A and B are shown apart, each in its own frame.
Chain A
Amino acid sequence: MIRVQAEDFDVGQELEKLSDGNHGVGGVCSFVGLVRDIAGDKTIEAMTLEHYPQMTEPALAKIEVEAHDRWPLEETLIIHRYGRLEPGDRIVLVAAASAHREAAFEACHFLIDWLKTQAPFWKLEETPDGGQWVDARSSDGRAAERWLTDKPQDKPQDKPKGKPDAAE
């Protein structure tokens, strides 16, 4: 499910909807992006998000389809705001619901990494020195590339019941 909107969203309510009525969901993983008040050494007073309306939803839909293709997911959610936001405001929510946690964690991570290089948004920061457009970061490009090489050939297998993970 995808929403591109100016209005704020309620994280708790949105996450509840992901598993509402679907008791096959064993895990929900989420990421919330927020506006910070500092970028490098500059104070940020506000940030305006511009987007390409005709392309935003199709681009996010493609990302969602890719996630469902790679991992066994019950539901995914991407909400991305546009317009003028202030420090502390929520910008984006991505979430993935799955039977088991590994798919939910990985899909959630993939959704935000992929969104940061594929979804047509641009940020204009308001600083004491005036407006300045944010530069894309090479770290975002590398984060997205990680998912190219890590692409699983098959969907993850369910773990046998009662067998603890090595990490636990």
Chain B
Amino acid sequence: MKILYFAWLREKAGIGEEDVSPPETVTTVAELVEWMKSRGGGFAEAFADEGMVRVAVNQEHVQTDHPVAAGDEIAFFPPITGG
């Protein structure tokens, strides 16, 4: 699955996008976040305050209980500040 990071999440993660293959036990956004945090480094810091992280799966805003599957595009970003 493809992971995208934006704004300060991207800066903390140290990367803008990547392809990942999490274990089969990862079936939701929340489980994906836990798995990514377990990799440590910038990811753990980027997700340190999960209340500040928003998620979109295939370009739609979702909650963390939303399912994720191979082939999905998952984007993590801070609360929006457009307009």
Per a CB cutoff under 8 Å, which of B4, B79, B81 touches A52? B4
The complex places the Cα of A161 from the Cα of B69 at a distance, in Å, of: 57
Contact with B along A118-134 (1 / 0, CB 8 A): 11111110000000011
Partner of A118, one of B4, B8, B61: B61
Name the interface size band of chain A: 20 to 34
Q: Is the CB–CB distance between A119 and B82 below 8 Å?
A: yes
Per the 8 Å Cβ criterion, residues 16-62 of A in contact with B are 33, 49-52, 54-55, 58-59
Chain A positions 130-168 with a Cβ under 8 Å from a chain B Cβ: 133-137, 140
Query: For chains A and B in complex, what number of residue pairs have CB atoms within 8 angstroms?
Result: 70
Asked if B78 is at the interface of the complex by the 8 Å CB criterion, the answer is yes
CA distance A44 to B65 in the complex (A): 38
CB distance from A86 to the nearest CB of B (A): 17
Tell whether A122 pairs with B61 under 8 Å between CB atoms, given A55-B56, A80-B82, A92-B82: no
Whether B80 contacts A116 by the Cβ 8 Å rule is yes
A120 CA / B83 CA spacing, docked (Å): 10
C-alpha spacing A167/B79, complex, angstroms: 38
Q: How many interface residues does B have (CB within 8 Å)?
A: 16
Residue in chain A with minimal CB distance to B61: A118
In whole Å, how far is B49's beta carbon from the nearest beta carbon of chain A? Answer: 12
A51 to chain B, nearest CB (A): 8
> Across the interface, which residues of A come within 8 angstroms of B82, CB to CB?
49, 51, 80, 92, 115-116, 119-123
Task: Name A residues whose Cβ lies closer than 8 Å to a Cβ of B.
Answer: 33, 49-52, 54-55, 58-59, 80, 91-92, 112, 115-124, 133-137, 140
* New A-B contacts (10) at CB < 8 Å, excluding given A33-B83, A122-B7, A137-B81: A50-B7, A52-B77, A55-B75, A92-B83, A116-B81, A121-B82, A122-B6, A124-B7, A136-B79, A140-B83
